[in-house]
Amino acid sequence: MADLSWTIPVMRAGYAGRGLTYLSIAGLSLWAIWRGGEAQGTGSALETLSDSGWGIAVLWLIALGLFAYAVWRGIDAIEDLEEYGDDAKGMISRAGMIVTGLIHGAIAALAISLALGGGGGSGGEGGVSNLVGDVLDWPGGAIIVTVGGLITIAAGIYYLIKGWKAKYREKLRANHFTSNYDWALRFGVMAQGVIIVVIGGFLTVAGFRGSSQEAGGMGKAFDWLASQPFGNFLVIVLCLGLLGFAFFCFVNAVYRVIPKVAGDDLTTLAAKMKAKAA
């Protein structure tokens, strides 16, 4: 078997970049709400960063990190580094990794464009609606969008279950830090699940109604929550959850275990918790 130890620093850089992205979105959103504004989606948050010198530096860090994450997900899927297997369930999981990698690669491209002084283009808040509009023009486009929305909802439910059952522990190294902050990791993963379910709901409605205006990303999810009873409170709670997910990404950047590369002497958080409960 080829030496794939080089994937470890790529993976760590990728999760760090992902964490920095969510930290920026949640942090800028909370700051905007504090000043009487509205929460910001991915495109809006990145555009805000492009307005200052330090923000440009953050954009470059995000771009490099997310590019590394895209590479990591591609290699992970091809080489099955996390041992999902070759059965139907495993292949679906590995295909999901590639899709996730492509999405984060697109965000990296947006960050580079903004850092170089370009506009948001199709990667801004209207990017999802524009893409859905293009797909709706295809033969059977409405069905494709609807199915894509249902798959997205399923992915969000997977995150919710992953957080509730703490399945992420199987990929984290056991130590004092991961044990003590397990509650924050769980909260962050479940908050990410909520966002994905809401976005999937938008896609499903867009496909069912044949209207790209119904689709949207994180910015639309914030707007929808804000329109509900106690909406501002819900948005703040979700932003805190996204800070938790950023924390989850940073913890993965340091302590994530890659089964096919890690040594046999490592103890996962799941194994430690199981032994403690026995």
For residues 182 and 202, give the distance between their C-alpha atoms in angstroms, rounded to a whole number.
31
What six digits make up the tokens of 151? 């798959």
Q: Which domain holds residue 111?
A: 7-277
Q: Is residue 2 part of a domain?
A: no
Q: Is residue 202 part of a domain?
A: yes
Structural domains counted in the chain: 1
Q: Is residue 81 part of a domain?
A: yes
Per-residue pLDDT of the chain (278 residues; tens, 9 = 90+): 577 788 999 999 999 999 999 999 999 999 999 998 888 888 889 999 998 889 999 999 999 999 999 999 999 999 988 888 888 888 888 888 888 888 899 899 999 999 998 765 444 455 677 788 888 888 888 999 898 889 889 888 989 999 999 999 998 999 989 999 999 999 999 999 998 899 989 989 999 988 888 888 888 888 888 888 888 899 999 999 999 999 999 999 999 988 777 665 578 888 888 877 76
Cα 85 to Cα 59, 78, 88, distances in angstroms? 36, 11, 9
Please tell me whether the overall predicted TM-score, pTM, comes out greater than 0.85 for this model: yes
| H or E element, residue 141 | helix 141-164
Q: Is residue 12 part of a domain?
A: yes
CA dihedral of residues 92, 93, 97, 98 (deg, nearest 10): -20
Q: Is residue 15 part of a domain?
A: yes
What six digits make up the tokens of 217? 């990303």
Q: Is residue 96 part of a domain?
A: yes
CA dihedral sign of residues 143, 144, 149, 150: positive
Q: Is residue 1 part of a domain?
A: no
